[in-house]
A and B are shown apart, each in its own frame.
Chain A
Amino acid sequence: MKKKEMIAMLLAGGQGKRLKGLTKSLAKPAVYFGGTYRIIDFPLSNCTNSGIDTVGVLTQYEPLVLHSYIGVGSDWDMDRKSGGVFVLPPHEREDGSSWYRGTADAISRNLKFIDQYDPEHLLVLSGDHVYKMDYNKLLDYHKEKGADCTISVINVTLEEASSFGMINTHEDLKIYEFDEKPKHPKSTLASMGVYIFKWDLLRKYLVEDIDKPDGESDHDFGKDIVPKMLADGLSLYAYPFEGYWRDVGTIPSLWEANMDLLKDEPELDLNDPNWRIYTRNPNEPAQYVAPQAKVHQCMVNEGCTVYGEVDRSVLFYGVEVGEGSVISESVIMPEVKIGKNVRIHRAIVDQGKVIPDGTVIGADREDDSEILLINGDSPF
């Protein structure tokens, strides 16, 4: 097979436990975002836009939706003769079988896939984040620094720092420490879960790690591989990314990132013709806004029919809002049918939910700081 300078491995097997309720039957990367997308559209589109045409997608938790969604990858222009997108779930081998035990293990179990392309560098991505990034710039930086590994980092506040993998660097951005979710963070540079490794080097570390018993290694990039590389004195650099990046791993953060899109000039521009975010098109007709409807500060997708009032909300495709209903500060997932005289305030309503006439969700609260989740478990 043709040699590639760099291919990508996209970790998409996580459940996203903190999104519980939305991830009952799909993995976190398949969670909807921004009126039409799924989270995984962002790293996949970034790959396409960066000219990376070979991507392995590592799946494990509830993979059905992801597998059928990705298909042959034509929506991201990844249906290629040489390369393309490959879905790589755990599989049985001669020496037995097991689940992917960690992020590094997922890559280790697919050495054969990567070796086919004999890449110089391996780009490791996470399918959990919403951002637009040119991975070529990261590669240029990685090569310029002559790094063995480059980790893309973003500035966060000290308060947020204890929920990320934090990177401590010297002034020249050379990394001396990787601090996984520290109680007392020393820096504000958080790992974005985007790494480039020299492949031949990483390969050695992975082969070494795979045979370690579970007590000795979590088979994880952040906990095992990167610290080991640092301990061995390899040259690891941080690449400071500037731009919008969000880990939409909780209900409030998912809600907030959707709300961010409603600003007049959102930081995350989804309509940049030079950096399209590709997605599977649901092929719905144009949205219909009825004479008595009111829609402000919203994002509304095709296939919606709006008879009521919608304010500061995101409507995915095929949503119906009945007469007299008032929806505010909410995220309404695909094909939700909202009846008449319904009131919804500060909620996320999961795909396909039918909300009967007259239902009130979150609109009669005194304290509306909590974002409600309405899904299959909700009592109507």
Chain B
Amino acid sequence: MKLMGVINLDHELDQLNELTYFRAGAAVPFAGRYRLIDFALSNMMSAGVQDIALFVRRKYRSLLDHLGEGGPWDLNRKRGGLFILPPDWNDPTDISAGDLQHMHNNRDFFARSSGEYVVHSGSQHLSKVDFCELGEYHKAKGADVTVVYKRVDEFSPEHEPCFRVDIDEEGFVSGIHHEKGNHNLYIELFIMEKNLFLQQMEYCIAHGDSYFFRDAILKNPNGLKIAAYEYKGYHAVINSIESYYKNSLELLEPEKYKQLFSPDMPVHTKIKYEAPTKYLEGAKVSNSLVANGCRIAGEVEGSVLFRGVKVEKGAKVINSIIMQKCVIEAGAIVENVILDKDVQLTENRTLVGDPRRPFVIAKRSTL
């Protein structure tokens, strides 16, 4: 079964405040050395997907920089590979709207790929879905579309905007909606046959629609047979600062960490060549995730340090997320904060946020 991938960021809102002022949500750094988009891309890579289109409308500079030719995901191929497709459409007769614009104007991508099935994903739901298994399930069910859902026992605020799925006894979808009591969250992942996908896209455009998932699948005007695939592994939704903070710190639980970074489905990211992290005399680090290239002389507790962070003597980092190349100078204290890249906290400054509403400091600030 040959798969092709679409990572569609068109409907993703920039909800991470300072972190998404200048970058798409998909490009937000996560878990010490990754960007959110790495998880969707790596899942596709694990399934051997070699044609992947990225539909993105704005704030894609940092995505372009991060993804490059797609080498880290083995997508720098002679045939196919990674196609980053920002909007550039000049067809005066084009009547498409919304995310259908991307699909319509990049028909060539679909036509040229030898993939028979389209796996369609966003970047806000982090998961480890095995797309090969999903594809087999889809075929075995004889479905037109298979949507992936995760059953959550306990709701969190970030679950609120998620679509819910009603499932009948045979495992088919009987309804998709926003009703809050339903525990089956749609994790923004579906698979369908390429030709059917294109056909549905044309139908939607002809009917003045603007949102493929809503108009072709949720409303299902053509009576598609929609199967539901239950995913049981690691899942997180990153659609707010609070959910970003919470899900980042939850990786300090070894169980979660092992689920997300299971060695059989490695997560790949852009390679940097930093030396291993240095713990100096007096360093006190506990319950933390630390990437390479850091230099720690102070205290770090319950935190995530990205690459190249410096924590000087007497500085304290508590329950915080410190992104690439930040410097916490001597005697400075941060607690419950998120520092974007290149933030410098000068000597003896104290910055304390509320654990429910962490403080966010924008990129390249000096405090």
Contacts and interface: CB of A to CB of B under 8 A. Distances in A.
A270 B292 CA distance: 12
A329 to B, nearest CB: 14
Given A285-B32, A288-B254, A296 B290 contact: no
A285 B277 contact: no
A301 B279 contact: no
A262 B31 CA distance: 26
Contact of A296 (B273, B281, B293): B281
B288 interface: yes
A314 B273 CA distance: 18
B275 A286 contact: no
A263 to B, nearest CB: 9
A278 B273 contact: yes
Given A285-B32, A288-B252, A302-B291, A36 B285 contact: no
B322 to A, nearest CB: 12
By secondary structure, the A interface counts as loop
A283 B275 contact: no
Nearest to B275: A270
Contacts of A378: none
Contacts of A299: 275-279
B291 A286 contact: yes
B352 to A, nearest CB: 21
A75 B267 CA distance: 19
A287 interface: yes
Interface residues of B, number: 39
A279 interface: yes
A277 interface: yes
Contact of B279 (A278, A279, A298): A298
B304 interface: yes
A325 to B, nearest CB: 16
Contact of B286 (A34, A75, A281, A292): A292
Nearest to B72: A283
B285 A288 contact: no
Interface in A251-291: 262, 264, 270-271, 276-279, 281, 283, 285-291
B277 A291 contact: no
Given A295-B283, A298-B279, A285 B267 contact: yes
Given A35-B275, A264-B280, A300-B279, A285 B261 contact: yes
Given A279-B273, A299-B278, A285 B285 contact: no
B276 A36 contact: yes
A275 to B, nearest CB: 11
Interface in B17-42: 31-33
Contacts of B71: 74
Given A290-B287, A301-B292, A295 B279 contact: yes
A271 B286 contact: no
B273 A285 contact: no
B271 interface: yes
Interface in B237-284: 252, 254, 257, 260-261, 266-269, 271, 273-284
Interface in B29-84: 31-33, 71
4 interchain residue pairs of minimum CB distance: A286-B32, A35-B276, A270-B275, A301-B276
B273 A287 contact: no
Interface in A281-324: 281, 283, 285-302, 305, 314-316
B306 to A, nearest CB: 8
22 contacts: A74-B71, A271-B293, A277-B275, A278-B273, A283-B269, A285-B33, A286-B31, A286-B33, A286-B290, A287-B289, A287-B291, A289-B289, A289-B290, A296-B282, A297-B279, A297-B281, A298-B278, A299-B276, A299-B277, A302-B33, A302-B291, A305-B254
Contacts of A75: 271
A292 B281 CA distance: 18
Contacts of A279: 273
A32 B310 CA distance: 26
A281 B271 contact: yes
B282 A291 contact: no
A299 B274 CA distance: 12
B275 A295 contact: no
Nearest to B33: A286
Given A283-B268, A285-B32, A302-B33, A291 B286 contact: yes
Nearest to A293: B286
A146 to B, nearest CB: 37
Contacts of A298: 278-279
Nearest to A74: B71
Contact of A300 (B254, B276, B286, B304): B276
Given A35-B275, A276-B273, A286 B289 contact: yes
Contacts of B267: 285
A300 B277 contact: yes
Contact of A289 (B282, B285, B292): B285
A277 B283 contact: no
A36 B286 contact: no
A34 B276 contact: yes
A283 B72 CA distance: 9
Contacts of A301: 276-277, 292
A270 B308 CA distance: 12
B285 A277 contact: no
A281 B31 contact: no
Nearest to B293: A271
B287 A289 contact: yes
Contacts of B277: 287, 299-301
B261 to A, nearest CB: 4
Contacts of A288: 252, 254, 257, 288-289
Contacts of A289: 285-290
A285 B265 CA distance: 12
Nearest to A279: B273
A264 B281 contact: yes
B269 to A, nearest CB: 8
Question: Which of A34, A74, A262, A281: most chain B CB closer than 10 A?
Answer: A281
A354 to B, nearest CB: 16
Nearest to B295: A271
Nearest to A310: B279
A36 B283 contact: no
A285 B257 contact: yes
A300 B278 CA distance: 7
A288 B264 CA distance: 19
Given A283-B268, A286-B33, A298-B278, 9 more contacts: A34-B276, A271-B274, A271-B275, A271-B295, A285-B31, A286-B291, A288-B254, A295-B285, A299-B275
A26 B252 CA distance: 37
A35 to B, nearest CB: 4
A299 B296 CA distance: 10
A35 B271 CA distance: 17
